[in-house]
Amino acid sequence: MTANLLDFDLEGLAAFCERLGHKRFRAVQLFRWIHQKGVARFWDMTDLARDLRARLAEVAEVRALPVLAEQVSADGTIKWLFDVGDGNAVESVFIPEDDRGTLCVSSQAGCAVGCRFCSTGHQGFSRNLTTGEIVAQLWHAEHALRRRLATSERVISNVVMMGMGEPLQNYAALAPALRVMLDDHGYGLSRRRVTVSTSGVVPMMERLAQDCPVALAVSLHAPDDALRDELVPLNRKYPLAELLDACLRYLPAAPRDFITFEYCMLDGVNDTPAHAERLIALLRGHRGRGVPCKVNLIPFNPFPQSGLRRSPREAVKAFADRLNAAGIVTTIRKTRGDDIDAACGQLAGEVRDRTRAAQRLARRRVVPLRVERGRSPAPEVAS
Ligand code: SF4
Mutation test of ligand 1: which of 93, 119, 120, 195 has the most ligand atoms closer than 8 Å to its C-beta?
120
- Mean pLDDT, rounded, for 298-327: 94
| Mean pLDDT calculated for residue range 205-212 | 97
Q: Which of 161, 197, 198, 199 to mutate to test the pocket of ligand 1 (most atoms within 8 A of CB)?
A: 199
pLDDT at 368 over 70: no
Closest Cα to residue 4, out of 125, 98, 85, 122?
Answer: 85
What is the per-residue pLDDT across 332-350, written as a single tens digit (0 to 9) for each?
998 777 777 545 666 666 6
Q: What is the pLDDT of residue 280?
A: 98
Ligand 1 mean position to 121 CA, how many Å?
5
Q: Would you identify the CATH topology of the domain 67-353?
A: TIM Barrel (3.20.20)
pLDDT tens digits for 109-135?
999 999 999 988 888 999 999 999 999
- Give me the pLDDT at residue 166, please: 97
Distance 120 CA to ligand 1 centre (A): 6
What's residue 339's pLDDT? 73
Which residues have CB under 6 Å of ligand 1?
A: 111, 113-115, 118, 120-121, 164-166, 199, 219
- Quote the pLDDT of residue 335: 78
Instruction: Answer whether residue 101 shows pLDDT above 90.
Output: yes
Look over the chain and give the mean of its residue pLDDT values, rounded to a whole number. Answer: 90
Residue 341 confidence (pLDDT): 57
Position 372 confidence tier, pLDDT thresholds 50, 70, 90 = very low
Write down the domain spans for the chain.
Answer: 3-61, 67-353
pLDDT band at residue 370 using 50, 70 and 90 as cut-offs: very low
CA of 162 to the centre of ligand 1 (A): 9
Q: Which atom of ligand 1 is nearest to the CA of 198?
A: 3
Pick the CATH number of 3-61 from 1.10.150.530, 1.10.3720.10, 3.30.310.50, 3.40.1280.10: 1.10.150.530
Q: Which of ligand 1's atoms lies nearest the C-alpha of 117?
A: 1
Residues labelled catalytic: 91, 344
Residues 282-305: what's their mean pLDDT?
A: 94
